[in-house]
């Protein structure tokens, strides 16, 4: 990769040009972009491992992912490809999933999502022949929205038909306007555990961009998602940047209406000219207790923005050589469940099942992850105190309920289990500092997009935001947002020129 120096500071009175708070994907991508353009950057991560939801953990020789399972649109000419080419991530050990990459199980019946827009229509039309034209309309719309992804970098067109106005349209209403068959609507919504389905709130833009990228192509990463973060760290450091772990920012220090420094771990102070926060906006502003720039009404509004739901995960270590690898995902739903009005009960009614990609040519998988929505209310009582025996019991009961639910599609699973590790929204809050353990960040509201779709710029002129809480969550959304954030410092023309 050729490093093009376009903006290098000569100010020797500060430690860095840019300090980035949080070493999740958004923070690391911002660090990469700015270091590539010659800025002296420092990424500060509070935990022992960078990556946020890309973090992995190992138990008894087996690697488990936490929030990363598969991505879409990584093929050449597709949505994510130009971003990962830019970030130097294309040569990681990606494995393309089967053409029938997602299996949606409603009750006892399976339906398959296929890669490629035409094949996607053809495959579902086998089960819903009377809905072929509606499927063609639905898929053509998703494809068009995806083709306009980079419009966000052009102020002249982002207000056009396929970007900002779609944040103000309801995904639920679009689905009902486009698809007549209620079962097909449920099937098309059935892979949406990678977002929060909210009939009253979810913007059409979120629904369309995310689903379109997976229809383009679907990929897993052998060895775990932490490789993405590790590669970004290596490149940042190779360009002269600094990435520090165990370095939690505890305070933002304002001087004359600008951030002048951050306080790290309660004592050390580091100075910079610009600051980017990959943390939740509410947490970011809480670190700035007194500010002449932030009004009380603004602080209150940000603090009270609703957050999306959390997720319970059962990471299952399997008996070696017991379970053949399955190169597709399984989304399992009760026949009677309403996916757009999810009810949080002790028993799950919807689940995402992901197989770990084998390494070293093995044809068996070492572990399977079961993910199901979980409300903050189920674990809130332990948010400030010790995780006692009652908390352990809640996790055990939830894991048992998940096993029982998954057994409807995988009756052999219980006998294949060697050990189960679990995480809850409390785990997400601890490792990603997200409010209420939210899995998808601030809830974007199609009835109030101006208030809930946030921009990188803040009331403090040299403080900017990035990450999943702004416009679009997920790998694709965070990557787009990182470029948008860096454009506030480098200029939009400089950023767009990087894409040729």
For the stretch 308-336, pLDDT in tens is: 999 999 999 999 999 999 999 999 998 88
Count: domains in the chain: 1
Domain presence at residue 217: no
Give the model's pLDDT for residue 349: 87
Task: Indicate the length of the chain as a whole number.
Answer: 500
pLDDT band at 12 (very low <50, low <70, confident <90, very high): low
Is residue 153 scored above 70 in pLDDT?
no
Domain presence at residue 301: yes
Domain presence at residue 482: yes
For residue 66, the SS3 value is coil
For residue 165, the SS3 value is helix
Q: Name residue, tokens 């059409």.
A: 204
Domain presence at residue 229: yes
Give the model's pLDDT for residue 107: 87
Domain presence at residue 292: yes
Give the model's pLDDT for residue 314: 95
Domain presence at residue 397: no
pLDDT band at 2 (very low <50, low <70, confident <90, very high): very low
Is residue 435 scored above 60 in pLDDT?
yes
Structural domain for 287, as ranges:
16-62+224-306+455-497
For the stretch 385-408, pLDDT in tens is: 788 899 999 999 999 999 999 998
Is residue 14 scored above 80 in pLDDT?
no
Domain presence at residue 257: yes
Mean pLDDT over the full length of the chain: 90
Q: What is the CATH number of the domain that holds 235?
A: 3.50.50.60
CA distance 75 to 219: 9
For the stretch 254-303, pLDDT in tens is: 999 999 999 999 999 999 999 999 999 999 999 998 888 888 899 999 99
Q: Report the percent of the chain where pLDDT is more than 70.
A: 95
**8 Å CB contact between 188 and 468:** no
pLDDT band at 35 (very low <50, low <70, confident <90, very high): very high
Tokens at 110, concatenated: 């399976």
For the stretch 465-485, pLDDT in tens is: 999 999 888 899 999 999 999
Q: Is 255 left (phi over 0), alpha (psi -120 to 50) or beta?
A: beta
Residues 6+ apart with CB under 8 A from 341: 199
Lowest mean pLDDT among 39-43, 134-138, 340-344: 340-344
Domain presence at residue 276: yes
Give the model's pLDDT for residue 187: 96
């Amino acid at each position: 990769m050729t490093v093009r120096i376009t903006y290098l500071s000569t100010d020797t009175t500060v430690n860095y040009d840019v300090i980035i708070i949080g070493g999740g994907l958004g923070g690391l991508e911002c660090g990469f972009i700015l270091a590539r353009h010659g800025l002296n950057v420092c990424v500060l991560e509070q935990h022992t491992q960078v990556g946020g939801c890309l973090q992995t953990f190992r138990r008894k020789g087996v690697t488990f992912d936490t929030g990363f399972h598969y991505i879409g649109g990584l093929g050449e000419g597709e949505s994510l490809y130009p971003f990962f080419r830019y970030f130097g991530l294309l040569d990681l050990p990606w494995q393309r999933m089967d053409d029938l990459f997602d299996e949606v199980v409603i009750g006892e019946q399976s339906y398959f999502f296929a890669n490629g827009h035409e094949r996607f229509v053809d495959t579902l039309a086998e089960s819903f022949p009377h809905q072929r034209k509606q499927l063609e309309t639905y898929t053509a719309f998703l494809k068009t929205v995806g083709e306009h992804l980079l419009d966000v970098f052009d102020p002249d067109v982002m207000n056009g038909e396929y970007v900002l106005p779609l944040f103000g349209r309801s995904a639920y209403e679009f689905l009902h306007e486009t698809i007549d068959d209620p079962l097909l609507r449920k099937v098309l919504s059935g892979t949406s555990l990678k977002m929060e389905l909210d009939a009253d709130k979810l913007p059409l833009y979120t629904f369309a961009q995310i689903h379109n990228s997976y229809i383009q192509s679907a990929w897993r990463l052998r060895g775990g998602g932490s490789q993405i973060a590790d590669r970004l760290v290596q490149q940042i450091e190779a360009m002269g940047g600094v990435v520090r772990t165990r370095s939690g920012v505890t305070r933002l220090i304002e001087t004359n209406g600008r951030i002048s420094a951050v306080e790290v771990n309660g004592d050390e102070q580091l100075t910079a000219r610009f600051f980017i926060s990959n943390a939740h906006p509410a947490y970011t502003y809480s670190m700035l207790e007194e500010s002449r720039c932030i009004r009380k009404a603004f602080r209150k509004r940000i603090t009270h923005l609703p957050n999306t739901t959390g997720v319970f995960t059962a990471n299952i270590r399997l008996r070696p050589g017991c379970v053949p690898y399955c190169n597709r995902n399984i989304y399992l739903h009760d026949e009677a469940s309403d996916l757009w009005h999810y009810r949080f009960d002790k028993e799950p009614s919807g689940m995402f099942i992901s197989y770990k990609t084998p390494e070293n040519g093995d044809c068996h998988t070492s572990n399977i992850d079961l993910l199901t929505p979980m409300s903050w209310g189920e674990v809130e009582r332990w948010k400030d105190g010790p995780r006692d025996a009652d908390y352990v019991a809640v996790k055990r009961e939830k894991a048992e309920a998940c096993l029982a639910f998954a057994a409807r599609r995988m009756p052999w699973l219980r006998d294949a289990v060697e050990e189960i590790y679990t995480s809850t929204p409390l785990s997400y809050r601890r490792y990603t500092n997200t409010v209420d353990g939210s899995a998808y960040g601030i809830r974007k509201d199609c009835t109030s997009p101006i208030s809930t779709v946030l921009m990188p710029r803040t009331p403090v002129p040299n403080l900017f935001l990035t990450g999943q809480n702004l416009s679009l969550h997920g790998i694709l959304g965070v990557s787009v947002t990182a470029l948008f954030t860096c454009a506030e410092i480098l200029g939009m023309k400089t950023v767009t020129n990087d894409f040729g």
